[in-house]
Amino acid sequence: MSSGEFEREKGGGRVEALPESSPFPRSSHSFSSLCYRERVIHVVQAPVVGSVGYPGFNHLLALRSREIADSARPGQFVMAGLVDSSSDPLLKRALAVYSIPRRAGDGDLLTLLIKVVGPGTRLLAALREDDRVSLIGPLGNGFDTSRAKGRVSVLVAGGVGIASVFLLAKELSEAGEEVHLLYGARRARDLVGLEDFQDLGIQVQVATEDGSRGFRGLVTQILEPYFRSYPARRLAVYTCGPNPMMQAVSRLASAHGAGCQVSVETPMACGFGVCLGCSVRTVHSYRLACTHGPVFDAREVVWDTATEGEGVHA
């Protein structure tokens, strides 16, 4: 979804914009809002207003929740699940808030970009207009945007990790900062949301491992020249994607002395610090990805044990 318009290519076809006088429910049912560790968290049932499928098992789900749309910051996420809690799977799934289109009359719209990898994401991607999603959010700390001021912000995303950096790109570009997106995937069909970033007017470069679009190779190969072109103090690197990619980005940034924030995507059961199931090893001690993170300073994370495997964003 480009910012403000529910309009997107769908397998070569075109998805129409939602009419201003959309017949769909215009707001979420809010059950409660609670203050947890000085953050206000909303528990809502959000109506689905649209769902679009993309190649590569990716789906864009548009929902209405004024509470979350008003308060979510770049890099924050929601726990999303079916309203019928007797369904399998029982647990909600963590998903980044992808975009918050703000146009007249649509100020309560937010979108989630979902890559189907298992039962939870399959059920969420199958939801249609008039269904409702049980949401808890916004959750997590989000990116520190103050680091970007006066610097060149280089956003390095892999696969559906792109979902965590769109709000960041939007906020920084609207604040007049220079923003570059480096987006890597295995193949062209795994690239989603490119047009949304291009609509922001930021610089976008793409790398695919099979060379089907953009640079043939890894996204870190198109990141490396930045450290030759700019002094490290001029760069603010932000990254989200598969763990090996984030580890490589962190190493590069640290080798050149550039600041780097990583958004780790450790599997989560509760999303707000209760189950203790999302611990990430850092140089200080173990931290919870859902409350201390998901965004960490890259120098803090102990990568070998922080997040095992490739992650779902490959």
Ligand X SMILES: Cc1cc2nc3c(=O)[nH]c(=O)nc-3n(C[C@H](O)[C@H](O)[C@H](O)COP(=O)(O)OP(=O)(O)OC[C@H]3O[C@@H](n4cnc5c(N)ncnc54)[C@H](O)[C@@H]3O)c2cc1C
Interface map 290-309 toward ligand FES (x if CB under 6 A): x-------------------
Q: Is 288 in the site for ligand FES (CB under 6 A)?
A: yes
Q: Which long-range contacts (CB under 8 A, 24 or more apart) does 31-40 make?
A: 33/67, 36/272, 36/273, 37/273, 37/291, 39/139, 40/71
Q: For strand 259-263 and strand 295-297, is the pairing parallel, antiparallel, or unpaired?
A: antiparallel
Output the smallest distance, CB 253 to ligand FES, in A: 26
Find the angle CA(227)-CA(230)-CA(233) to the nearest 5 degrees. 95
d(CA 6, CA 101): 9
Q: Which stretch binds ligand FES (CB under 6 A): 106-114, 123-131, 220-228, 262-270?
A: 262-270
**Residue 275 interacts with which of ligand X, ligand FES, none, CB < 5 to 8 Å by class:** ligand FES
What gap in Å lies between CA 266 and CA 278, rounded to an integer? 6
Contact flag: residue 274 with ligand FES (CB under 6 A)? yes
| 74 vs 293, beta carbon nearer ligand FES | 293
Nearer to ligand FES, 240 or 270 (CB): 270
Which CB, 97 or 179, lies closer to ligand FES?
97
Shortest reach from residue 220's CB to ligand X, in Å: 20
46-54, 151-159, 245-253, 273-281 -> range binding ligand FES (CB under 6 A) = 273-281
H runs (alpha helix) in the chain: 66-71, 119-125, 166-174, 194-199, 219-229, 243-256, 303-306
Min separation Cβ 279 and ligand X, Å: 12
Mapped onto helix, strand or coil, the DSSP state of residue 291 is coil
Instruction: Please state, in angstroms and as integers, the Cα–Cα distance from residue 248 to each residue in 85, 105, 242, 243, 260, following that order.
Output: 39, 43, 10, 9, 11
Q: How far is the CB of 273 from ligand FES (least distance, A)?
A: 5
CB 15 within 8 A of CB 52: yes
- How far apart CA 233 and CA 221 sit, in angstroms, is 20
Q: What is the token pair recorded at 130?
A: 């008039």
Q: Which residue is nearest to ligand X (CB)?
A: 118
| Count of chain residues binding ligand FES (CB under 6 A) | 12
Q: Is 41 in the site for ligand FES (CB under 6 A)?
A: no
CA distance 271 to 182: 28
Q: Rule CB under 6 A: choose which of 268, 298, 306, 314 binds ligand FES.
A: 268
Closest approach, Cβ 269 to ligand FES, in A, equals 5
Judged by CB under 6 A, the stretch of 114-122, 142-150, 254-262, 264-272 that binds ligand FES is 264-272
Cis geometry, peptide bond prior to residue 138 (ω within 30 degrees of 0): yes
Residue ranges in contact with ligand FES by CB under 6 A: 268-271, 273-278, 288, 290
